[in-house]
Structure 1
């Protein structure tokens, strides 16, 4: 468990190079054991989620970023399968609406943050603004930012400020009780191709495929550079990145769940302890109930 965290974690001071992170790594786990292993981890997470909800002091924000077909949706579905929906919120971010474009790029994501006692999952996130916008800077022009009226003005200083904004808001969240962890599901280009073909061949999965996916695939190297830069600029001790191999979906789910479990354990969660007066009220209520 500890080895998974150490192997995949990128935090402040770490130099992340994508080439050093194989996409098909699976540690010593075997596919035939994966279902039982995952069930055991999720059972422990479920117990800790109840404590998180009862204590109502902390929140956990889990961010998923990846290329198309890396398995974000299935990873979320499997790793969150045992959670109580009452204490869990999942948001999937699409292209911003006109209302969202009338605010800064962090606004709609801040609106979706989990409340105390809850786990929030963001399928894509504010990082799209230093990923897809980095690859397609023309998108930035639609955000109507003062002083940014041409592609020439979207320079190194512009991106430096964006990274700084992201680091700042994540540190603010951490200081105020929201633990932030960020997963990059690292899928290979070959595996993405195979998954696209399966979507095309399976009528029940045709809806998942778009011709735009093929267009974006042409920018693969640009996206990899954007991810490497974003992770290096925003990996901090307060909000680390975890670069998860994603070619084997069954292992991806184990790795994500293992990290979630350890993060929840590190919160040192406790059920609320009632003061003397509240305890006396409980004792009195028990006496009345027993008399019925």
Structure 2
């Protein structure tokens, strides 16, 4: 069932709107297909697992999506968020990952330091990127993937939307809700409608082939996706940007990759796509 998530002003808005009556802050009953939620801050985006808001403090909070119409799907969302919290707690403070500010297992919320420039995908669309910044980003993208792999984490959804750009134009890797930890997904041992459950799928331009529902990605899948991220950073657009996704899938499955001879990072991009690197650390040495 398609759901509409409808905001109800939270107490934090009283300071900005002292003229509002108490009735505005009351949560109305949900009608069919509706889910009301009390806001914690300014809306950022609504994902498949969580609502993202910017708190009055400036930090970003992720709250698990409720689904009163499907307890199984709501439980799936909780498991993803719990996995993300687990991974942020595991990864020691580093320049490659957003800083964990707070978390609450009971309410399934996660608070992270805000990155003012948003995600890499949109930043590249809106700015001209200098060669020096491109080089820095490529180094940071490869280093961040190497870092999480050494910690036993496979991201599984390595795309430009999951790299954030901070105030100093550094890249940070985020969103571990669908990630594997030591080879196990958040759903290992669980079933959804009788089928093995796995979360995370980066899309045709970041996968070497179509993933079946029960496919469990590996570090090599992250490395393949890394090649496409690096391509975007240097070329300014995604691989086969003008082609429909089904055609991109067909070409990638047949190992027909975009021409990269005009790019400075052609060796690392092709190495990622063609499976020449056994680890992200090995790819980093190519730099």
More helix, by proportion? 1
Q: Name the structure, 1 or 2, with higher relative contact order (CA <8 Å, separation 6+).
A: 1
TM-score category (smaller protein): under 0.3
TM-score (normalizing by structure 1):
0.25
More strand, by proportion? 2
